[in-house]
């Protein structure tokens, strides 16, 4: 995902020399792209393998080989190239035929420069989306991932390398990091790499239980130890015998329990409630926290001797800010997970959505990113997720109030003016079409009439914004 951005490549195919020259001049400037021209479909086919164009704009009526035949052959070479067909003899039947064969859009000659440039820009965006997602899928499918972590950034790989090495020992490990950075995943990695991996790792969320219950859960009790203790109960340390126990958010353990925990780390033994004898345990202890333990020691809320017993080895998990280059892979991972869960297969992130995710401040780190993707997959009105879909209800209200109730996508200020304007148009049009089809239960004819549009124009917009009428018939 890094490196210099390559210039967009457009191949224009037509047997009219004057039109080729005009289109090259107009589109190279308006679409900021490299333009190559071909005087026939056969010539175009010889150029495609080496040129690897992002978009092909082709006439349909040409000698030797027509544009529809070219379209089929290009699809066989690279189905990700977006092909826009054009003809001076445009009919509905011809347009339908071109679209059925895989054309991205159809233009009838003559056309104005603004219209054709907008369609070509859209086609570039489609190709970019397809190619970026293919690359992300390839990276995500790499079979050499030894852990649950998703990402290739150097800070993350360094953390994984350290966790892997620590897994081969029995040392106590303190895992530090901001909320949502994957501290529990890190603990599972250490356990998975250890000789104890055949046994289940036990995890306890320390702040979730009151002090009395936490103590009995950790160390167990004997019958009669307190009111209601009508039988012996093994604690989690005994349950984790021969395995690993993770004390999640250990900074919140009460000081009174810290002494007993220190004994476990020093003597490898516990004392169940109500019992005078201690019991030896064979447990590896991992602990995690997102708090400043040094500050808690200074205020007397955390024992120094316990800190030094826990801090035998420390791993600090990088924040999402530190591994920003991994955001596209993480986003795709969560997109696939929730698309499958909600039975919304085929969903994709638009390039602007990925740019938005890369530019956001993630105070909740990976967990916040996961929640945003979860919400977007569940609530997006189309199969293409845009920056607008990442808005929470509170942010949506705030944006509306700041923009006179106009639905402006989140991250709009991070885009260049032209892209920002296009994003607003995209969000408005997608939402408008989805609402129109919802009201008519997917009936395109009724929806187009109610919108004051020709059916063909309405359908062109549906194709452009990847909206399927059957999605609304099912709902």
Domain count, the chain: 3
Checking if the pLDDT of 406 tops 50, the result is no
* CATH code of the domain covering residue 329: 1.10.8.60
The region of weakest confidence among 44-48, 241-245, 271-275 is 271-275
pTM of the model: 0.66
Q: 303 and 185 share a domain?
A: yes
368 plus 406 within the same structural domain: yes
- Tell me, yes or no, whether 335 lies in a domain: yes
167 with 311, same domain: the answer is yes
Shared-domain flag, residues 193 and 336:
no
Cβ contact 333:140 at 8 Å = yes
Average pLDDT (230-247) is 90
Q: Which tens digits make up the pLDDT trace of 120-150?
A: 998 998 888 788 777 777 776 664 556 789 8
Lookup result for tokens 């120094």:
304
What CATH number should be reported for the domain holding residue 69? Answer: 3.40.50.2300
Shared domain check, 227 and 250? yes
- Cβ atoms of 334 and 348 within 8 Å: the answer is no
User: What's the pLDDT score for residue 24?
Assistant: 92
Domain presence at residue 146 = no
Could you write out the three-class secondary structure of 273-298?
A: ECCCCCEECCCEEEEEECCCHHHHHH
20 falls within a domain: yes
pLDDT at 360: 83
Last residue of a domain, one of 296, 316, 336: 316
Q: Which CATH number goes with the domain that contains 269?
A: 3.40.50.300
Claim to verify: residue 56 and residue 197 sit in the same structural domain? no
DSSP 1-22: --SPPPPEEEEEE-S-HHHHHH
Examine the domain organization and report whether 277 and 328 are in the same domain. no
Beta strands in 65-119 (DSSP E): 82-87, 105-108
> Where among 316, 345, 368 does a domain terminate?
316
Whether residue 1 is contained in a domain is answered as no
Closest of 74, 84, 88 to residue 115, by C-alpha: 84
Q: Is residue 2 a part of any domain in this protein? A: no
In the prediction, which pLDDT does 135 show? 77
Domain, as residue range, for 256: 154-316
| Res 407: pLDDT | 44
Mean pLDDT of 322-351: 90
Asked if the structure places residue 43 within a domain, the reply is yes
* Confidence grade of residue 338 (pLDDT, cut at 50, 70, 90): very high
Sign of the torsion formed by the C-alpha atoms of 196, 201, 202 and 207: positive
Decide if 312 is inside a domain.
yes
pLDDT of residue 5: 57
Verify that 191 and 235 share a domain, yes or no. yes
Neighbour-count burial of 317, counting CB atoms closer than 10 A to its CB (0-12 exposed, 13-18 middle, 19+ buried): buried
Do 288 and 332 reside in the same domain of the chain?
Answer: no
Last residue of a domain, one of 253, 283, 316: 316
* Same domain flag for 107 and 161: no
In a domain, 298, yes or no: yes
Q: Is residue 82 within 8 Å of 123, Cβ to Cβ?
A: yes
- 328 & 312 share domain: no
Average pLDDT over residues 154-161: 93
Residue 359 to residues 79, 135, 180, 321: CA-CA distances in angstroms?
A: 30, 20, 18, 10
The answer on 191 and 290 residing in a single domain is: yes
Given pLDDT bands bounded at 50, 70 and 90, which one contains residue 405? very low
């Amino acid at each position: 995902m890094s490196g210099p951005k390559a210039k967009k490549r457009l191949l224009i195919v037509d047997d009219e020399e004057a039109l080729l020259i005009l289109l090259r001049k107009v589109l190279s400037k308006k679409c900021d792209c490299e333009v190559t021209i071909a005087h026939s479909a056969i010539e175009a086919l010889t150029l495609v393998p080496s040129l690897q164009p992002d978009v092909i704009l082709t006439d349909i009526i040409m000698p030797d080989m027509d544009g529809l035949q070219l379209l089929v052959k290009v699809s066989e070479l690279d189905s990700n190239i977006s092909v826009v067909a054009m003809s001076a003899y445009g009919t509905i039947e011809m347009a339908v035929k071109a679209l059925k064969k895989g054309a991205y859009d159809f233009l009838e000659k003559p056309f104005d420069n603004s219209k054709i440039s907008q369609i070509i820009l859209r086609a570039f965006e489609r190709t970019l989306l397809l190619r970026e997602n293919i690359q992300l899928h390839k990276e995500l499918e790499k079979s050499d991932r030894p852990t649950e972590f998703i990402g290739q950034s150097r800070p993350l790989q360094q953390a994984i390398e350290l966790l892997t090495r620590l897994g081969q020992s029995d040392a106590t490990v303190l895992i530090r990091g901001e909320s949502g950075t994957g501290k529990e995943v890190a603990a599972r990695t250490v356990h998975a790499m250890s000789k104890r991996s055949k046994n289940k790792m036990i995890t306890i969320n320390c702040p979730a239980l009151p002090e009395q219950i936490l103590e009995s859960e950790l160390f167990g009790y004997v019958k009669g130890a307190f009111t209601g203790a009508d039988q012996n109960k093994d604690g989690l340390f005994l349950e984790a015998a021969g395995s690993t126990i993770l004390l999640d958010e250990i900074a919140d353990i009460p000081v009174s329990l810290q002494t007993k925990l220190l004994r476990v780390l020093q003597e490898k033994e516990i004392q169940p409630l109500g019992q005078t004898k201690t019991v030896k345990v064979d447990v590896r202890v991992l602990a995690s926290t997102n708090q400043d333990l040094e500050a808690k020691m200074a205020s007397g809320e955390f024992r120094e001797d316990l800190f030094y017993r826990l801090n035998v080895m420390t791993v600090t998990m990088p924040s999402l800010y530190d591994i920003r280059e991994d955001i596209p892979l993480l986003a795709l991972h969560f997109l696939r997970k929730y698309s499958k869960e909600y039975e919304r297969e085929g969903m994709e992130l638009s390039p602007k959505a990925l740019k938005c995710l890369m530019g956001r401040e993630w105070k909740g780190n990976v967990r916040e990113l996961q929640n945003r993707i979860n919400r977007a997959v569940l609530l997006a009105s189309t199969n293409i997720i845009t920056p607008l879909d990442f808005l929470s209800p509170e942010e949506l209200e705030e944006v509306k109030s700041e923009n006179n109730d106009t639905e402006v996508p989140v991250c709009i200020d991070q885009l260049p003016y032209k892209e920002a304007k296009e994003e607003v148009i995209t969000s408005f049009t997608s939402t408008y079409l989805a609402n129109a089809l919802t009201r008519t239960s997917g009936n395109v004819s009724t929806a187009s009439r109610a919108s004051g549009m020709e059916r063909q124009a309405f359908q062109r917009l549906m194709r452009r914004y990847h909206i399927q009428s059957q999605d609304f018939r099912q709902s």
